Every structure is written in structure tokens, then in C-alpha cells.
Amino acid sequence: MNPIAPPTETPMTSLHSRPNPLRRALLGLVPAAACTGLAAPAWAQPRPPRLVTVSGAITEVVYLLGAEAQLAGTDTTSLYPAAALKTPKVGYMRQLSAEGLLSLKPDAVIATTEAGPAVVLDQVRSAGVKVELVVADHTWAEVQRKVQAVGRAAAREAQARTLQATLDAEWAEVQKRIAASTGPKPRVLFILSHSASPQVAGQNTAADAVIRFSGGVNCMTGFEGYRPMTAEAMAAAAPEVILTSDQSIEAHGGIEKFWTRPELALTPAFKRRALVTMDALQLIGFGPRLPATVREVHERMAKA
């Protein structure tokens, strides 16, 4: 699927969008010895761990913790922030090679359980490299685990705790706001169409979780993962809002061409042109931008 894992399952202000007091505070956390003038000479200080991140969301955490200088490489889903595009790439998260990973001489590889093949990660472990695998279950706890994993691997656990406290507060505020919303929950359909065969998201997908977190109801039930989009399914599901990625719209040649798909003409969403789009990594990447993402999707669904 392009910046996000394929469907085999995987402008709000946020911590990323501008320099902010939190990031300055994180970067300001230094060993007490340095503040007292007792810091060890440079030649005696341990080298910061070299990291390879295999997940766009995990890479975002590295930048938030100010550990980007420790990045030896990233995978091709690591597209944000823009600086991540310039890092050495180890390939797509599901198609890794031991040679590519080990060539960057990392001390640790941080990935999710969606990364693979498993035999490659075993080879990397056998070579003495620490491999941190974060369970991807499309919950807020997944985001927390990503922050904690990067904190451990980058030797920045204090900064990670500070970041996590801020993100937890953001998440609690967003969920409280959505819970207080009145009126019926919209029936939402997520379409993934980065290629010629559009697919729709069922249960136990990242898209399904985002719809629920944002105060909507996934109108595709009775199956898990993704299935091809068919006219019969569209008519039966009767979505009131279509949720998709910016990349899916681009693959269709723009919004107007997207709406020309005959399957969509059978839906209530088509009559109102009720469409919400967002960058795929932000929308279903389950990274530190999730609170801002959920808030924005909720607000835009209400106006669609």
C-alpha cells in the first residue's frame, strides 16, 4: 500500500507542526553531571545507539524525542517529517532483508509486529543487534508502546516519559470531547485505493479503529481485514461518509474522478459528496499524531 502496510492487516496543530515548548523541554533533559560541570570527557562517553526504524509512526517518535541524529536508516513507510525522506532506506516493512539492515550497522532495530519476514528479523538478532517489536493492535496502547520502545532503544527514557504524559493528556481530552458529542453516529466506509483495485476496511483494521475513535460506525461488518469494493457491498452498507487517504484520491486522478466510480453512486454519501481524506500515514499509521488525527476526522465527519 505505499506509506502504510498493505491491506492484509495495517490542518490540525500537533507536536510535529512547529517548534514547541515540549520538544525544547525534551531536548533540554541532560545528565545531571553535565549541569555540574562533572561530565565525562567526550572520548569517555558512550556512543549513542544507532537505530533503524521500520514504521513511519516509530520514526516520528524518534524525531519528537530529538534522536534523529541516531537514525542509521528507516523503512519506506517513514515519510514524516520531511527530513525522514533523506535517511537511508532499508526497503518496505514487510520485505526486509538481513543484508540491508545489517549494512547500516545498527545497535537496535525498532519495528512493529507487522514487519518481516520473521526469518530476516531472526537473522538480525543472531548478528547481535537488538530487535524491538511493538505489538500492532490499533489501540492507544500501541502508540504508548512505540514511544516506550524508542525511549529504551535510543537511551532517552526520561524524554519518552515526558512525551508520553503529554500525548496521554491530548488523547484523554479528545476522547472526552467526542464522548460528549450528541446526535447519531455517522455510518462510515473506509476505502483504500492506492492501486487499481479499491478495497474496503472491515473489522480489526487500523481504519476501523480510527472510525470508532472518531465517533463513527464502520458500516462494513461481518469480516476482518480488507475486501474488494463491489457495487453490492456499497448498496448494502449504505455509508453516509466516505473516509479515504489522500493517496487514494491521487491514484484516481482527483476528487471528481474518484466520485465517478459507479459503486459509489449507490451510497447516501454520494448524494451529499460526503468525503473525508487525510494523508495515509497520519490517518492509519497509529503514531503520536493520533489524537490530532481523531479530532480532525471527528470534526470533518460532522461537517461532511
In the numeric block, which cell numbers belong to residue 237? 452498507
**Which residue did the predictor score with more confidence, 145 or 11?**
145
Nearest to 85 by CA among 281, 254, 270: 281
CATH topology of domain 187-303: Rossmann fold (3.40.50)
Cα–Cα distance measured from residue 83 to residue 167, given in angstroms and rounded to the nearest whole number:
22
| Domain topology for 21-177 | Rossmann fold (3.40.50)
Query: What are the residue ranges spanned by the domains of the chain?
Result: 21-177, 187-303
Percent of the chain with pLDDT over 90: 80
Q: Which is nearest to 22 in space by CA: 175, 172, 169, 177? A: 169
Instruction: Kindly compute the dihedral angle of the four CA atoms of residues 230, 233, 234, 236, in this order, to the nearest 10 degrees.
Output: 160
pLDDT at 39: 54
Q: Please give the model's pTM, rounded to 2 decimal places.
A: 0.85
* SS3 assignment, position 192: strand
Residue 13: per-residue pLDDT: 38
**For the residues 20-25, what does the mean pLDDT come to?**
50
What three-state secondary structure class fits 112?
Answer: strand
Provide the percentage of residues in the chain whose pLDDT is more than 70: 85
Instruction: Tell me what pLDDT residue 44 has.
Output: 54
Instruction: Give me the pLDDT at residue 46, please.
Output: 80
pLDDT of residue 43: 53
- Asked whether this chain's domains 21-177 and 187-303 adopt the same fold, the reply is yes
pLDDT at 193: 87
Does the pLDDT value for residue 30 go beyond 50?
Answer: no
Report the amino acid identity of residue 87: T
pLDDT in tens, 131-187: 999 999 999 999 999 999 999 999 999 999 999 999 999 999 999 999 999 889 999
pLDDT at 37 over 80: no
